[in-house]
Amino acid sequence: MAEKPKTKPKPKTKPKTATKTKKAKSQEFEYKAEMKQLLHLIVHSLYTHPEIFLRELISNSSDALNKIRFRMLTDTDVLDTDADYKVTINFDSKKQTISIEDSGIGMKHDDLLNSLGTVASSGTLEFLKQMQENDKPLDGNMIGQFGVGFYSVFMVTDEVTVETRHADKGSTGYRWKSDGQGKFTIEEIDKKTRGTKISFKLKDEYKEYSEEHRIKNVIQKYSNFVDFPIFLEKEEVNRVSALWHRSKDEIKDEELTEFYKFISNDFSGPLGHLHLNLEGAVNFKALVFVPETAPPTFYKEHLEQSLQLYSNKVFIQDDCKELLPEYLRFLKGVVDTDDLPLNVSREVTQSSPIMVKIQSILVKRVLSFLENWAKNDIEKYNKFYKNFGQIFKTGVNSDFTNKDRIVELLRFETTKTEKDAVTSLKDYVSGMGEDQKEIYYISGEHKEAIERNPNLEYFKKNDIEVLLLSDPFDVFIIPSLNEYDKKNLVSIDKADIDLKSDEKDEKEALGKDLAKSLIEKFKQALGDKIEDVIESKRLVDSAATLVVGKEGMDKQMEKMMKMMNQDYAGGKKILELNLSHPLIKNLGKRLIADASDPILVNSILQVYEGALLIEGSLTQETDFVKRMTELMVEATK
């Protein structure tokens, strides 16, 4: 299990109940407020798929069995060395009871407090509450995604008893009890064997889960792939061997989907999968899935687990970070290799050259897989990119070996793409006119906002395509690309961009000398608010725009810096003037008539702040409106 931030519940100052024997002291604890809220939501709002409680409990047992099996690879000094690894389910349909018992690692007192008393993820509660507020149905099936699976049991019962003893020799047995309301109790018990037993009486409306056929049916639906035998009373009910060991044509699509759901906790099937069986310098088998959608907390909290590592069918590790680079962490699946030493430990997996080789091969195979989609199944590729493009593209900065391939897989909206369509750099370049030497881009918050940017006017008029970068990650990636196909990637927000001026426009523009004086006047009026004032070649309809100096930072990047650091003032911009624009020409005339005309300075400030407003960085709105009112008073006289 991945480490998660947890806060402990507080024990009440005095143990409330105490039974006769000294050993069986029962201590009462109170859930933290957030846990209470979560439990309330589970009990009162989750109605669909109540049967998943069984999947969650079996899955916890399977985790606990994996842990002890893994430990025993190197350390056999544990309780019940010879015990079988198994899950046993007993039921009594008359009494409406069921119990799930395993011979796993068990829990210590602290585990009971930390694991069974706290919400693993703060995002979970937030997410569930939001769903509820928006009247979206809360689906019990989703609960496994949030690391609170155990609590799904409170959908079907009013009180749960957990009896457990940790595998360490000399450990103590405990009984944990809770009604899923505000409190739980822990008491010492005399338990001889290692492992955990969870038992409870089902609510009347869920009594079907104490009946044999129903239990069997749920196990076959959700837990077929559990790697340990599950006994329903005396009968073993799951019989599926490691799927990835079978040959491709032997595996049915439904089996793949079920297996994917089983390992990912996703409730819908995968977008696609890759099945590898490699023999040679390194030997491994892998079954890797691309999910159909990103889990709700994917970009906020890293709760999801990526690949599981097996060594010759024995589970070694969940979420094995060594198997994949960060930018591919959206993948789910299993990697199984015979090449690791038998006494594998975390240290071994962290430093083994075998892992490095596996990773390198896996990455290349996954890239080929995505390339194939990009070429032959664009719809799937775009779906993948929409969900995971944001993390995937960071590979450009982190994976130098495969950078060129990742760059080919990048997708962008442009001034020429239809709604929701995207294009590759390759397609962009093939659409470039003969005169165009560079690849142009502009960044901003979303397509519509960027398209209003006056800096685009020249490009629209001359039918030059511009990449619209609306993902905040883009500004960290695209500038570092520098070039593609020997063509520079250039921000059209920059002042030094090489544009041809339009001859016709030049004729209509302000004369050279007057333009020079007007630009001087602008500089005087704006003082150190700006770096410079220059003539613009890129504007068509607008009077002015702000651009970034040669050394300046991308505007979108600057916005992010400001968000992260309130004190960060940002660099000064360059104001570009459209000398053919009627307003600028009129200001030129005013300047000749009366250089001290107050309307002149007011208009200059207004032009500047108007440009700020358009790029979304005007902070003195009241001054802006006040000046506008003054100018309108003049105009309406």
The binding site for ligand ADP (CB under 6 A) comprises 1, 56, 60-61, 64, 102, 104-107, 111, 115-116, 147-151, 196
C-alpha–C-alpha distance, residues 549 and 334, integer Å: 50
Judged by beta carbon, residue 68 or residue 604, the one nearer ligand ADP is: 68
Quote the least distance from Cβ 165 to ligand ADP, whole Å. Answer: 10
Judged by beta carbon, residue 110 or residue 236, the one nearer ligand ADP is: 110
Quote the least distance from Cβ 90 to ligand ADP, whole Å. Answer: 15
Quote the least distance from Cβ 111 to ligand ADP, whole Å. Answer: 6
80-108 exposure pattern, b = at least 16 Cβ within 10 A, e = fewer: beeeebbbbbbbebeebbbbbbbbbbbbb
Give the other-Cβ count within 10 Å of 332's Cβ.
23
C-alpha–C-alpha distance, residues 198 and 369, integer Å: 43
140-154 exposure pattern, b = at least 16 Cβ within 10 A, e = fewer: bbbbbbbbbbbbbbb
Judged by beta carbon, residue 199 or residue 424, the one nearer ligand ADP is: 199
Judged by beta carbon, residue 4 or residue 365, the one nearer ligand ADP is: 4
Judged by beta carbon, residue 151 or residue 392, the one nearer ligand ADP is: 151
Judged by beta carbon, residue 69 or residue 383, the one nearer ligand ADP is: 69
Are the C-beta atoms of residues 478 and 406 closer than 8 Å to each other?
no
Q: What is the DSSP letter of 55?
A: H
Judged by beta carbon, residue 116 or residue 518, the one nearer ligand ADP is: 116
Are the C-beta atoms of residues 578 and 539 closer than 8 Å to each other?
yes
C-alpha–C-alpha distance, residues 509 and 521, integer Å: 17
C-alpha–C-alpha distance, residues 334 and 346, integer Å: 17
Quote the least distance from Cβ 153 to ligand ADP, whole Å. Answer: 9
Are the C-beta atoms of residues 274 and 365 closer than 8 Å to each other?
yes
Are the C-beta atoms of residues 415 and 459 closer than 8 Å to each other?
yes
Judged by beta carbon, residue 159 or residue 371, the one nearer ligand ADP is: 159
Quote the least distance from Cβ 439 to ligand ADP, whole Å. Answer: 46
Residues 6+ apart with CB under 8 A from 549: 494, 495, 531, 532, 571, 572, 573, 574
Judged by beta carbon, residue 103 or residue 545, the one nearer ligand ADP is: 103
Judged by beta carbon, residue 149 or residue 325, the one nearer ligand ADP is: 149
Inter-helix orientation angle 598-615/621-636, to 10°: 130
Return the SS3 of 91.
strand
Quote the least distance from Cβ 120 to ligand ADP, whole Å. Answer: 6
Quote the least distance from Cβ 105 to ligand ADP, whole Å. Answer: 6
H helix intervals, 527-597: 555-564, 582-593
Q: Three-state SS string across 426-476, please?
A: HHHHHCCCCCCCCEEEEECCCHHHHHCCHHHHHHHHCCCCCEEECCCCHHH
Q: Three-state SS string across 307-343, please?
A: EEEEECCEEEECCCHHHCCHHHCCCEEEEEECCCCCC
The residue among 463, 455, 456 whose CA lies nearest residue 575 is 455
Structure tokens at 55: 């999947």
